[in-house]
Structure 1
Amino acid sequence: MASCLGCCFGNTSTDKHRSTDKIDGGSTLPALQPVSSPHHAPVIGQTESSSVVQDKENQDGGSTLPAFQQYTYEQLAWATGQFSNNFLLGEGAFGQVYKGNLDGKVVAIKKLKIIQDEQHENLQTKLDEIEVISHVTHLHIVKLLGYCNEEANKLLVLEYVPNKSLKSHLHGKRLLEWKDRMNIAIGAAKGLQYLHEDCDPKIIHRDIKSDNILIGNEFEAKIADFSLAKILPITDDITHITTMLRGTNIYADPEYDPLQRVSEKSDVYSYGVVLLELITGRKPQDAHSNIIEWARLRIVSALSGGIYHALVDSKLDSKLASYETKEMERMISCAAASVYKSSKLRPRMKDIIGVLNGTTPPEQIWNSEDNAFLSEKGKRRAARPWLT
């Protein structure tokens, strides 16, 4: 199944033109009341099930979530106070996300915009794609709980994550401590490994960025927003899909821009950019440069000369906060191998998890000879591997 899920999983954190730090959190929101209607008083627990999937235990945590269901538009409207702005969590190019209450449980309800060039796509294909994503059950991935498909009304019901996005924590007023940064990096890597290696068929996210990594109450990472996801066909001889590049540009693998051969290694590249954000505390793009070019030579100084202060977030490199040098070295090695190597040479998420956990030596994915990838010549070679 190689069709795009854009119509089903719209990106509600804004794209390269806007940002929404409001998403998935909002301590000032009014209290939600359980769904009730003076006319129909629907009972969500007795809603007609889609019979797509019955939830299995969470792979990492053992907890269970409600069975995947199909809802009516009326039910979701009542759950959000008729989509009141009082319950709006975030808004982006693909729609709005509202905080809602279904059967006494707080959920996130995503109200999708109609994408003109996808209106006439085969409906059954879309339902099949929802079915595939509904099977994704993992501690580090936001769970799809249900959907609504009534004519022009397309909505998704998702697990509610209360602690906002990684972006809001990195660039907010409070310091994101190093132990939490490591925990988030490892959790996001585990989520991606699950999508790439344990899902059948495999799923490529295609829009990994700090906006789309949400933070739970225990500072565990949860990958969100399958707006651009691709599902690899179930066959051993297909390793990539050719598709028009639609992700946020700074996070997008530059090798095949704008016509991109999407594979798991495209997600690895984007994940590497997120690691650079965790290391440096910088935004991926500013008025003067992007984080990839800014970090290039500073990584050489850090890994070869042990000079970290020019690269590492200054808020971590102070008397008030600190980091473990060996852990920092491991994260820098993972970021460098993910971003600066060509796709064929990038590590798998399994390898990255091993390095971050300290069970795999960082030299297995990035050694002193690999610093050549950080030079201008190495930059050109990594961007156009077919020329070498």
Structure 2
Amino acid sequence: MSPVSTHPPHGQSSLRTVQVLGGGNAGSSAHVRSLASGLVARGVRVTVCAPAEADRLYDFTGAGAEHVHVPRSSDPASVAALREACRDADLVHAHGLHASFRAVLALGGRRTPLVVTWHNRAHAEGARAHLLRLLERRVVKAATVVLGTTSDLVDRARGSGARDARLAAVALPPPPRPAEQDDPERAGSKLRAELGATGRPLLMAVGSLERHRGYRTLLDAVHAWRRLDPVPLVVIAGEGPLRGVLQRRIEDEELPVRLIGRRDDVGDLLAAADLALLPSGWESRSVFAQAALHARVPLVATRVGGIPELVGEAAELVPYGNAKALADAVTALLADPARCELLKDNGTRQAATWPTEDETVAQVLSVYDELTQPRPLL
């Protein structure tokens, strides 16, 4: 890895970067907060362009960055605000497809280097899926460098026409610890009682209630667990367009499942859980999977996207959409404490191999230096 910039020499202005964020993805928002803090500590001037709500949640200004409110939409006013924020930037770094597309529009062909990080893959069907592919091609062809958080995202960027696509080191800040530090066991028992899981296994899933998350398959699998004694309780934290459909199924089929809406205490929920479930149709560096391994909670996940690369031997992996395989994996783990302990230990070892925040900032700075340092004359 090439040397990275630190504080600029006396009397010289520091590198000015603009981080463009859509604000709708927890993983990319947390990454930008971590990145901003590390860059500022190394003398880089950082402006984060994101919706005001994202700054309230992630406190970019508290990390030493300037925050500019830019709505998520691609309307002319939004693009104009972003164009003004990028006017004197040495480099622009956009996170996610829609934020990257707005950055391309705002730069309008200017020679300012554009780095794009793909944290995940956009999900859509039919005509919208075709539109997203067109946006992907437009973005990666305009980008100077595309960073993908998983190998398959790097391959996708190259297949879409990227000039330079690389695997990104992406670290998330350590997950928050349970609220009641002095007695985490008591805190977990209290939360289990509030959720209705006293004296029964608690299975936890977290994520938006959308089609690609695999919750319909999860509800199919729940039928197999109803014959267990005691009957496990499945708790799903998240909101989305499928809430009504899922709630009706839960009521009509009398399933032991609770939808608890969007939560900001995922660390506490995981600390109280017996198993973590990730039934998605596609994931990259899943924030929830990382949190589960950090919390030493056995994980059952689908063998899709970047999940195998992320978790290694630290989770039970099943095919997407296969309710029987999901049900069998959960049933087997609930009956095998030794296997659960092995997964916990594997999870601790696997998490130790993930990039640190310092390593992530160092890689990004090396890319920035490469794109902004004057090239020697031959």
Quickly name the TM-score band, shorter chain normalised.
under 0.3
More helix by share: 2
TM-score by length of structure 2 reads 0.23
TM-score by length of structure 1 reads 0.23
